[in-house]
Structures are given as C-alpha cells and as structure tokens.
Structure 1
C-alpha cells in the first residue's frame, strides 16, 4: 500500500495499543494537549506507538516502527491542565518517515497495515476464548462491585469471543509479558499466528 502524503501526529508511550483495544490516557503536556485538540477539531485519529528509546516527557522519543491508530471515544477535564481521554485502537500502521516539530512532537508518514482477516476462532483455540470470557466476566464483576454505576469496562464492546483477531488482541493486552514481546505480537501479520503464540503461552503457564 502506498504511504499517505499527510503527516500523522504520534503519541509515543510506554504501552502498546491493539486494534479494538481500550486505553485511558491522561494528557498534561501542552504539546499533546494541542495535538489532541487539533485531532478533535478535525475529527481525525492520532497514532499510538511504543517508545523504542527515550521518555514520554521532554525531547521527542524514538518510536517503534509499527503502531496503532487511536480514535477518541470520550474525554474530560476534571482538573485544570489535565485532560483525560478514553481511546480505542483502530488500524495498525507502519512508519515510513518521521519528523520532529519545534515543540518536540513527532509526526509520521505511514502506510496502513491491512486489517486481520475476520476469521473465527479455530477448534484448537476455543479454550483461549472460553478462558478469556472468564477473565472478562471477573474483571467486570469486580469493577461493578467497587465502582457501581460509574464503572466502565476496560474491554471493547461488543465482546467478540468468536473472532480470532479480537480474542488474540485482548490476550495480548492483559498477559504479564514484556513490552517488547507485546510489540512483536502487534507486528505479526495475521491474527491466527498471534493466537497460536498466545495459546502456547497459556498452556506453558498452566492457564489452560
């Protein structure tokens, strides 16, 4: 696919966003407040990328080559100077070129990575989906007990336990694995490969 001529604003973070993933963000740096406002004004996403080297604050960090579009689904500013966002992961992209703006924000020209084929969970991986449902139900039940009506599930809706892509991506988000490993899973071309690795991990750690 050809790279788009426009520049995508990037938000380098010490986390990995997956398609259909939900990520709460607190934005307090002026440069990112400006970026978020501009995206809101234009109704466009920004890109979330894992930091390869550098920090979230200060000078522009070096990003990993593959990231995920972030669509804002909700925002608030309960405290002056701190904006809270709830973003949802969109399509994956590969960085073709980057530039650093005077305020140390990163922008990139990117090429979009085709979305995973919407294939069902195979028979061998059904246990992954069933166990994920147990985890989701448990997290949601505890959340409702602790927070009542104000609780918002950290899992994207609708729940798609029959989708190999959705199941694989949710496991990638919640497993206690290093960020580099999470990034490698994001970069895998297809959901079936991602889910196969997850399946082996769950077996090895006696989760299945």
Structure 2
C-alpha cells in the first residue's frame, strides 16, 4: 500500500513536474506560515494545478495529482516579498483535503511509485534527439547534462513535458501517468 502523509498545498495555475524548477512569490500569511513550517521541519509542500478559483484569496480547488516542491533558495524581491526557488520532487495523489482556519489547504496524499531506472525504447529515440537539440539551443541548467541522461526514459519524459509548448491540462495528464514509457507515447501524440 502506498505511504500516506499529510502535506500542505500551494495551488497554482501551473503544473510542477519532477525535476523542474519554479520561482514563486509568497505574500499571503497562510503561505508565509507554510514556508516557515517547511523550513523548520526540512520538508516540502505540494503544488497542485488549480481547477477552480485563484492563486490568492479564498482557497482554490486543486487537482487530485501534484508534485512535492522542495525549497532550494529564497530571498526577497524589490518590493520586499518573499521569493522562493523550488524544485519538483515526488509525485502524489490527493485522497482528501481539509482547509485550516487560516485558509491553508492540507491534503492527505499517497506518494506515487518512483520512476523505474529504465532506458528509452527505439520508438522513442526521436524524442531524446528533439530534447537534446532543444537544450543545446536553449541553454540553461539542463544543457550540460551527460549524454546518459538522454537514454533515461523518465528524465527525457519530464524534461519534454517541461519544455514543450503544452497546455497545463496536458502536463497534468502527463503527471498522472505512472508508466514513463506511456508518458512518452502521450508526448508523441501531443507534439505539434
């Protein structure tokens, strides 16, 4: 049976994927308290795409799948707001939510199985080539990875889902898929 855990949620109008970096500005008291608690405990928080509602104000309705966000760096912007750089870690499925008095959504989550260490299949080799060419041109943190990464089915899938011009609903479908080979099949169908 998957491990269950309670996790604070930070619903956003985006999908955080495993391994992806995301910059956040935090200004609402509920999220400032959440960040403080995460810093004290050394734990992350959950990012789920918003299905209904907004990022600020009344608690939004989050998707049932999300990604644990680990804080990598923090600071303040020119206006004094807290800024965070987070990285997507483990995927989870929300089984139940409740809203605290301060408006913070707490979720009972089941962690999804970690991706298997598996190689690309021949039918997906083109996707690794597309990703490699894109990263060479775009630069950034993934542009200097070893060639071995381009044979890692899960890594190729997550990076393609991160960089392809997909709608958030499409990224959410990718996030929900447990089989990394099936993720690549979906990405092949979604490619422009």
Distance 1:2 1:187 in 2: 15
Q: C-alpha displacement at 1:57, in angstroms?
A: 0.5
Q: Does 1:174 align with 2:163?
A: yes
Q: C-alpha displacement at 1:156, in angstroms?
A: 9.2
Report the 3-state secondary structure (helix = DSSP H, G, I; strand = E; otherwise coil) of the residue aligned with 2:103. Answer: coil
Q: Among residues 170, 180, 192, which one is paired with 2:181 in the alignment?
A: 192
CA 1:156–1:102 in structure 2 vs 1: closer, same or farther (change >3 Å)? farther
Report the 3-state secondary structure (helix = DSSP H, G, I; strand = E; otherwise coil) of the residue aligned with 1:102. Answer: coil
Aligned equivalent of 1:40: 39
What is the TM-score when the length of structure 2 is the normalising length?
0.91
CA 1:135–1:165 in structure 2 vs 1: closer, same or farther (change >3 Å)? same
CA-based RMSD of the aligned residues comes to 1.8
Q: C-alpha displacement at 1:137, in angstroms?
A: 1.7
Report the 3-state secondary structure (helix = DSSP H, G, I; strand = E; otherwise coil) of the residue aligned with 1:35. Answer: helix
Q: C-alpha displacement at 1:182, in angstroms?
A: 1.3
Distance 1:3 1:59 in 2: 30
Is the contact made by 1:22 and 1:156 (CA closer than 8 Å) also made in structure 2?
no
Q: Does 1:162 align with 2:151?
A: yes
Deviations 1:161-203 (A, max 9, x none): 121111111111222222112111110121100111212333x
Q: How many residues align?
A: 190
Distance 2:184 2:177 in 1: 10
Q: C-alpha displacement at 1:129, in angstroms?
A: 0.8
